[in-house]
Structure 1
Amino acid sequence: MNPVRRTTAAAATAVVLATAGSLLTATAPAAAAPTACASPVFTREFFPNTSFSGTPRRTDCDSAIDQNWKAGAPTRLMPKDNFGVRWTLTRDFGSGGPFTFQAGAQDGIRVHLDGVRKIDLWRDVSSTRKKTVNITVPRGKHTIRVDFVNWTGNADVSFAYKPRTSPGVDKVKPLVPKGSSVGYQGVTGRARATWARNTEVDLAGYRVYRRLEGTSFGTVPVGITTSTSYTDGSLPLTGDTYLYEIRAYDKAGNESTGTPDQSVTTADRIPPARPGGLTAGSRYEGMRLGWRTDPTAASYRVYRATGTSGAFTRIAQVDKGTYTDTTAAEGTTYAYAVTALDEWGNESVRSAQVSAQRGDYTAPPAVTGLKVTPTTYGFALKWDANPAPDTKTYVVHWGEPVGEEGGEQVCYGSAVEYLAAGTTSYDYTTLPDGDRVCFFIDVLDTAGNSSLRQTGTAEAVIATELDTTPAAPTPQGSPSRATVYGVEGAEGVESVPGVEDDTAR
């Protein structure tokens, strides 16, 4: 209730002083400027008559109709008898429903709803009379108008309207809340729903319902509030989609239909399963790892430790179930473990670790210093000792050069001898007849690595055999066989190269 206060200077009688020598004159009372009162506050107008005619002497806002002016005037601008006061209110009643209108006055009061009279106590009386009526207000916006007049004597007036909230009386559901939306904060994992406020007079609050996509809403809300927003901090962080709807409920327990579903997809804080089946094996290109993949994993992290008890360090992240560690040092033992990551970056527990040693895949350096000297029995070969500590075998290759002399030539040869480490010379025996031949030497280590196989090249030497062929040809008819007889007392015979031993029978 807003009691009437003293009038302002703008509303009081204005006194104007004329120029010197003129008379003082007084103007008529000025009407107050129209006042805009926000619903559900009443607009109150004061009339100096009981017919509510003419321009109101004063207009203001009144939050409740409950005044007692006794025998006095309601304002300095008004008479103490034969005046009228009108209250007007237009508001949205939402879904409407059953209401009680209560009025009391000395003298007369009339209450209208949308211009239809609901209470009529219009008579000059000597005491306050009261009346209560039950009415049903339809949904939507409606106007209440209260007219009060005082003819003579004391003046008091009261009016109130309120919903009937008994479950047996009120069967009207609230309207569906409008403007609903739901936002999601991935960092906090919280969803925040907002909506516009309902206009029902008997509104009690709102219920927020949540369901997993593909399921139905339950009967128990996830939250209850009297506000127009709700923050849900109980969402499972599983990367799933959830749907929300808001329902208004009144003091009689009636619940509205739900708002259109609003969806959010939660952040995923659930890591994938621990990878299994991890294996590790040494290959020429590096340590080859493999493990079983998981359809929920987006990528995998590879961890390595030196030895079997060292600290693990992440060395790679891949999107498949294999990885080759090309940085593993030969001859070193490593322990490996992998983890799985999903699209949200959640990392699983490390797999069971496996250990393996990186094999030796580095061939010894190529043989250097090869020298080939023709001899009467073939060739004498010498070379530098290979510096590799794991040198195991030298392989001597003999072949024929291809290409023109004086130009680039290639030695095509095959292995003719395998020699142990520590050997740096070899005698190649053949029947010297002046041919041009070539030699090169490959070297193998204890792991079987070959310098020639890895590099495809070797240091080759081209040499020309001595020519020990007789200058004169063998005469026509010369015997092709020689018979050797043992000499009595001799300790043995020595076979001559190139001479077949054919003992006479």
Structure 2
Amino acid sequence: MLATAGGLLTVTAGAAEAAVTCASPVFQRTFYANTTFSGTPKKTDCDSVIDQNWGTGAPAAGLPSNYFGVRWTVTRDFGSGGPFRFAAEARDGIRVYLDGVRRIDLWKNISTTQAKTVDVTVPSGKHTLRIDYVNWTGAADVTFAYQPRTSADVDKVKPLTPTGTSLSYSSYQARFGWAANKEMDLAGYRVYRRLQGSPYPAKPLATTTSTSYTDTTLPRTGATYYYEVRAVDKAGNESAGTADKPVTTVDETAPAAPKGVGDNWAMGEVEDVWLTWESNTEPDFAGYRVYRSATTPVAVTPANLVSGSELLTGSGYREALPQTGDAYSYVVTAVDTHGNESAPSDPTSAFMTHDRTPPQETALNARAVESEAGVTLTWDASQARSEDFVGYRVYRSSTPRGERKMGEQLVGEYVRGTSFTERAAPPGRTSYYWVVAADDAGCLGTPSVDMEVHVQGNTTAPPAVTGLTATPGKNGVSLGWDASDDPGLDHYEILRGTLVDGRWTYKPLLDPGDFQPWEFTGTRHHDLTVADGERVRYSVVAVDQYGNALTPDSGAAMAEVTELDLSPDAGATPAASGAPLTSLGTQPYGDHGWISWILSPEADEADEADGGGHRVTGFHVYRWNPDTHVFDRLTATPVPRGESGYWDMTMRQGTTSFYRVTVVFDDGTESGATQAAVAAD
């Protein structure tokens, strides 16, 4: 007895034989000891391929070698069905049935193998194949196979639409799955995806032989997409698509940065600003944010957000600029309904502002006291800080600040610390001081309290400096002294004394910049002067803020020294008997020197025709050589008349150079020489 249960065939044999179950598409095979397939089978098993050659032997134990029968049966799902080819070969008889209808009949006892092929159209769904084989006498062999015909000109049957679809979305990926089709000629599956509101494209998203596909290319826009899958056979026939499976993506796509923001600009200093830009057109657009900063690029941060917590719905923004003196730039971003924010727009040009914001620094707990150093003001460090703070200003007035200001003076500015000393406040009167912070635009903060001081002043000169030394050198005298610890010290002055008619006469060293007494703040100085053996005295005096200072006659420090004598030897030529020059001077310039002269009027006017004298045609320049003890002539040819100087490009450095200049006449003779000397660094 045969019973069909789904895709399985179950054989119910005698009580002594257990049922054999074969899973489709494996055949269930039964062996009979007769050619009529009657009675109880001798054996039942499973056979995946019908391709046997038993020769002259028995097909199984307990069966005869002649006059036996074998039956194969299978019920399977042919999917959409379509054109198939059945091929049978046997020695002896073979019959093939499809759903009980005989399709091949080769049923006779022969000594050679007989074969037959038939083309069959199999309907869709489940069908049963039965193959009966008998061997009467002689050798036994049997072969049977069935397969779909897949050429495109024969197979016009579409595969069945896949079933069992499922769709899941995770980590920005969609996993689409379906059940396997039953077609034997299945080539694979085509997966299609469409955006909501659009048709499926002609080209599939993917082609696969698997029963699932993971889409990793979904845009992160918040849009809804639909999927379907279609089966395709080896002939190229494509099934209908499955029912749409939707998925809504996570939106992580920001809108485009607003355009046209960079076109906003203004000239001069701006009180308020009005920005405009092009409108965004994204379907999920929600609004704009505006950011402002005095630094570039403008950072998109909560601290720089100026448009508020609510999004701007229009493409414009207006605000009053803080008048801090900074240059401000703006950027604009677009935001969508999912909170995605665009990249910042191009920045605007910088909008300049007036600085009307006073600094935050305040000089608290200000106090004043007078000492020998002057009037010293101190105050507590300010806890507030301003970026444009440049320092404190200190004012002094003869009246309190609250009253009408008379004689108000700025006595200190750019004070970065917490103290200031006015070293020479007007003595003998009451002064009022206050301290106020200033920024780089001149805005002033809150002033300190008034500090009232009755200034006594100072009339006592600082004590004499100590440790004064004077050391002669080849180009002058080097001086050194100890630093004065007098609190009112302002500077030092150096006096140089020479003997005049047997008395020491002192003159201050002059500042070469303004030819006023040179004010020194250090404790070293080299007096660059000619080393000609002169006896001199130096006095260094400390001067306080009121100009009080000792003198050489009242106890100032003194040091007497005789300069080195590098003068030319007596009798050196050309003789220093005097040239017809009004003046002769020397001046060092870096590593070279300039020797200049002025021809005397008499020599300048001499003319042989008028007075019988000789005309001046030029000048010769000589320099003393201390190594050879002669004057070396520096001019190979005379310096032409009309020129008033000569550059010595090889002037000796760090010593004193002595020069002599002669006048050259038209007859080739020279006048006596005029001498000048210069000390060079």
Q: Which has the higher contact order (CA 8 A, sep 6+)?
A: 1
Larger-Rg structure: 2
**Alignment check: 8 A CA contact 1:32 1:59 kept:** no
Aligned with residue 254 of structure 1, among 209, 212, 237: 237
1:412 corresponds in structure 2 to none
State yes or no: 1:112 paired with 2:112.
no
**Corresponding residue SS for 1:263:** strand
The change in CA–CA distance for 1:55 and 1:354 in structure 2 (over 3 A counts) is: farther
2:175 corresponds in structure 1 to 192
Distance 2:67 2:150 in 1: 39
State yes or no: 1:345 paired with 2:340.
yes
**Alignment check: 8 A CA contact 1:33 1:59 kept:** no
Distance 1:265 1:243 in 2: 9
Aligned with residue 85 of structure 2, among 79, 90, 100: 100
> Aligned-pair distance for 1:333?
5.3
Distance 2:350 2:400 in 1: 35
> Aligned-pair distance for 1:117?
1.6
Aligned with residue 229 of structure 1, among 212, 216, 219: 212
Aligned with residue 314 of structure 1, among 301, 304, 307: 301
Distance 2:359 2:193 in 1: 68
**Corresponding residue SS for 1:125:** coil
Distance 1:183 1:30 in 2: 51
2:184 corresponds in structure 1 to 201
> Aligned-pair distance for 1:213?
2.9
Q: Which shows bigger deviation, 246-255 or 342-351? A: 342-351
Distance 2:175 2:339 in 1: 21
State yes or no: 1:175 paired with 2:169.
no
2:620 corresponds in structure 1 to none
> Aligned-pair distance for 1:108?
1.8
Distance 1:125 1:174 in 2: 42
**Alignment check: 8 A CA contact 1:302 1:314 kept:** no
**Corresponding residue SS for 1:37:** strand
The change in CA–CA distance for 1:86 and 1:359 in structure 2 (over 3 A counts) is: farther
**Alignment check: 8 A CA contact 2:300 2:344 kept:** no
Distance 1:172 1:110 in 2: 27
Distance 2:341 2:97 in 1: 66
The change in CA–CA distance for 1:344 and 1:85 in structure 2 (over 3 A counts) is: farther
- Identify unmatched segments of 5+ residues in structure 2: 1-13, 267-271, 361-390, 393-398, 405-440, 447-681
**Alignment check: 8 A CA contact 2:191 2:230 kept:** yes
Distance 1:47 1:288 in 2: 104
> Aligned-pair distance for 1:324?
11
> Aligned-pair distance for 1:79?
2.8
**Alignment check: 8 A CA contact 1:280 1:289 kept:** no
Aligned with residue 244 of structure 1, among 227, 231, 252: 227
> Aligned-pair distance for 1:157?
1.0
Q: Deviations over 1:431-461 (max 9, x none)?
A: xxxxxxxxxxxxxxx999xx9xxxxxxxxxx
**Corresponding residue SS for 2:301:** strand
Q: Counterpart amino acid of 2:230?
A: R
> Aligned-pair distance for 1:150?
1.9
The change in CA–CA distance for 1:346 and 1:83 in structure 2 (over 3 A counts) is: farther
The change in CA–CA distance for 1:41 and 1:422 in structure 2 (over 3 A counts) is: farther
Q: Deviations over 1:409-437 (max 9, x none)?
A: xxxxxxxxxxxx976359xxxxxxxxxxx
How many residues align? The count is 350
Q: Counterpart amino acid of 2:183?
A: E
TM-score by length of 2: 0.44
**Corresponding residue SS for 2:109:** coil
The change in CA–CA distance for 1:186 and 1:338 in structure 2 (over 3 A counts) is: farther
1:80 corresponds in structure 2 to 65
2:19 corresponds in structure 1 to 34
The change in CA–CA distance for 1:141 and 1:124 in structure 2 (over 3 A counts) is: same
Distance 2:27 2:354 in 1: 90
> Aligned-pair distance for 1:69?
0.9
State percent identity of aligned pairs. 52
**Corresponding residue SS for 2:22:** coil
Distance 1:228 1:101 in 2: 29
The change in CA–CA distance for 1:186 and 1:298 in structure 2 (over 3 A counts) is: farther
The change in CA–CA distance for 1:266 and 1:100 in structure 2 (over 3 A counts) is: same
Matches within 5 A, 1:61-76: 61-76=46-61
**Corresponding residue SS for 2:144:** strand
**Alignment check: 8 A CA contact 1:100 1:134 kept:** yes
Distance 2:106 2:297 in 1: 97
The change in CA–CA distance for 1:422 and 1:106 in structure 2 (over 3 A counts) is: farther
Distance 2:239 2:103 in 1: 29
TM-score by length of 1: 0.57
> Aligned-pair distance for 1:144?
0.5
The change in CA–CA distance for 1:346 and 1:33 in structure 2 (over 3 A counts) is: farther
1:424 corresponds in structure 2 to 402
Q: Which shows bigger deviation, 208-217 or 295-304? A: 295-304
> Aligned-pair distance for 1:115?
1.4
Distance 1:313 1:169 in 2: 67
Matches within 5 A, 1:402-441: 424=402
> Aligned-pair distance for 1:177?
1.3
The change in CA–CA distance for 1:225 and 1:38 in structure 2 (over 3 A counts) is: same
Distance 1:344 1:75 in 2: 77
**Alignment check: 8 A CA contact 2:83 2:122 kept:** yes
Distance 1:33 1:349 in 2: 80
CA RMSD between the two structures: 4.6
Distance 1:144 1:33 in 2: 23
The change in CA–CA distance for 1:250 and 1:295 in structure 2 (over 3 A counts) is: closer
**Corresponding residue SS for 2:23:** coil
**Alignment check: 8 A CA contact 1:173 1:249 kept:** yes
State yes or no: 1:156 paired with 2:134.
no
The change in CA–CA distance for 1:263 and 1:313 in structure 2 (over 3 A counts) is: closer
**Alignment check: 8 A CA contact 1:341 1:348 kept:** no
2:578 corresponds in structure 1 to none
**Alignment check: 8 A CA contact 1:184 1:192 kept:** yes
> Aligned-pair distance for 1:95?
1.3
> Aligned-pair distance for 1:156?
0.9
Q: Counterpart amino acid of 1:244?
A: Y
**Alignment check: 8 A CA contact 1:339 1:351 kept:** no
**Alignment check: 8 A CA contact 2:323 2:356 kept:** no
1:219 corresponds in structure 2 to 202
